[in-house]
Structure 1
Amino acid sequence: MEADAPASVIAALVAGLIAGYGIAMPVGAVATYLVALTARTTLRTGACAALGVATADGLYALIAVVAGSAVASLIQPIMAPLRWVSALVLIALAVRAAARAIGRYRTPQTTTGAGETPISPVRAYLALLGLTMLNPVTVIYFAALVLGGQGTAAPDHLEQAVFVLAAFAASASWQLLLAGGGALLGRALTGSRGRLVTAAASSAVICALALHLLITAD
């Protein structure tokens, strides 16, 4: 029995890592927004935003291991409204980012002046945490993995904790990688025209992905 314990913990670790990367790696609207946010702010702000996304994934993984099937059945009826809210928030953020980029391009002398308060790392963390929590598919995804991988014996608390922490770590590592890419993009495109093009392109992609989210919500 003692030999089985480390094996089960390692299995929970591997399962958590795979689950975390599985939910984090597909590039969607939130990931696109994260890269664009980091490109126009700082790596510190982007890293905090990335941890906000990872925290949401970790919380949903925790919910799934504690009460996966029950929560999934409760969330199922409100999935469409939550997707609508998430998509509308993303479109609003994309339009706002594009409008700011156009304003800075037209009046470059005010890019470092007052009048625009940059988003703080704490606000970035909370914003991405809230935005990611609006996606109910995450908890259903984790619940399906947890319930499908239980077999005949339910996992103990240690295995559940290892699974949740591994899922959070995997998501955090990927989101931080995206934030790093956004920081490099921001340094490469230091000119006002480059930042305008980047903001316009990212806003268009975010809007397209959000519209796709609306279509799938019907």
Structure 2
Amino acid sequence: MSAEVVLSGLLAGYGVAVPVGAIGALIVSLASRHSWRVGAAAALGVATADGLYAVIAVLGGAALAGLIAPISGVLRWVAFAVLLALAGKTARDALRHRHEAAVARPTDGRRAYLTLLGLTLLNPATIVYFGSLVLGRRADDGLSAGAEALWVVAAFVASASWQLFLAAGGSLLGRVLTGARGRLWTALSSSAVIAVLAVMLVIPGS
């Protein structure tokens, strides 16, 4: 039973984490433009949000989907605005500093963690995903509190491992493309991807 619970939790965590969208692009961008520490902090912010939704799922919030449905549109537009602002700031900073030497300019890991935590909590896809898990759970599944906790931990570990993998990839990319031209290209590319994915959040059927 424990193995089944762990496998179920891992699949749930990877299911929500693996599709690389705007959040994943942000993690890669932060790690490539700043440091592994900042990227890892951002990655753990995303994993924490996924873990919180997993906790909500196992606590049996069967009414979650109903509570979120009335404000899902608002959440989409909030996330859209925040992501566009981040994309704009990324592009502006890249253009402003394009002639500077390639020096380490670390940002606050705590800020990266909180920003990505907040963005992931606003992500309607994450809410819908774990809401679906809640609705799919049977009330008589017979799992103990310990088994439920194990499921949450497995989901968190799966999400964290994938997000940290993205951060590691971003960090390596940053080391390879250390020149001014390379840093400008990656920053502008990341900004464009984030902007496109932000727009997709508010396009019906996307």
Q: 1:93 aligns with which of 86, 109, 116?
A: 86
Counterparts in 2 of 1:10-89, with a 5 A limit? 10-89=3-82
Rounded to whole Å, the distance in 1 between the matches of 2:121 and 2:13 is 15
Deviates more, 1:204-213 or 1:151-160: 151-160
Rounded to whole Å, the distance in 2 between the matches of 1:91 and 1:151 is 41
Rounded to whole Å, the distance in 2 between the matches of 1:154 and 1:130 is 33
Q: 2:181 aligns with which of 172, 193, 207?
A: 193
Counterparts in 2 of 1:1-218, with a 5 A limit? 7=1, 9-105=2-98, 107-108=99-100, 112=103, 118-150=106-138, 152-216=140-204
TM-score normalised by structure 1 residue count: 0.88
Q: Any conservation in 2 of the 1:84–1:217 contact (CA below 8 Å)? A: no
Rounded to whole Å, the distance in 2 between the matches of 1:86 and 1:147 is 25
Q: Deviations over 1:83-110 (max 9, x none)?
A: 11111101110110111011111x425x
Rounded to whole Å, the distance in 2 between the matches of 1:130 and 1:48 is 13
Q: Deviations over 1:6-36 (max 9, x none)?
A: x2x2221111100100000001001001101
Q: Deviations over 1:40-87 (max 9, x none)?
A: 000011001100000000001101111332122101111111011111
Q: Any conservation in 1 of the 2:62–2:134 contact (CA below 8 Å)? A: no
Q: Any conservation in 2 of the 1:98–1:200 contact (CA below 8 Å)? A: yes
Instruction: Point out where structure 1 has 5 or more consecutive residues left out of the alignment.
Output: 1-6
Instruction: State the identity %.
Output: 53
Quote how far apart the aligned CAs of 1:217 are. 8.3
Rounded to whole Å, the distance in 2 between the matches of 1:186 and 1:166 is 30
Rounded to whole Å, the distance in 2 between the matches of 1:112 and 1:145 is 45
Deviates more, 1:180-189 or 1:60-69: 60-69
Letter in 1 for 2:191: S
The aligned length equals: 206
Instruction: Point out where structure 2 has 5 or more consecutive residues left out of the alignment.
Output: none
Letter in 2 for 1:108: E
Q: Deviations over 1:126-146 (max 9, x none)?
A: 111011110133233123224
Relative to 1, partners in 2 of residues 1:195 and 1:37: Cα closer, same or farther, differing over 3 Å?
same
| Larger of the two Rg values belongs to structure | 1
Rounded to whole Å, the distance in 2 between the matches of 1:144 and 1:212 is 21
Q: Tell me which residue corresponds to 1:3.
A: none
SS of 1:60 mapped into structure 2? helix
Root-mean-square deviation (Å)? 1.9
Letter in 1 for 2:56: I
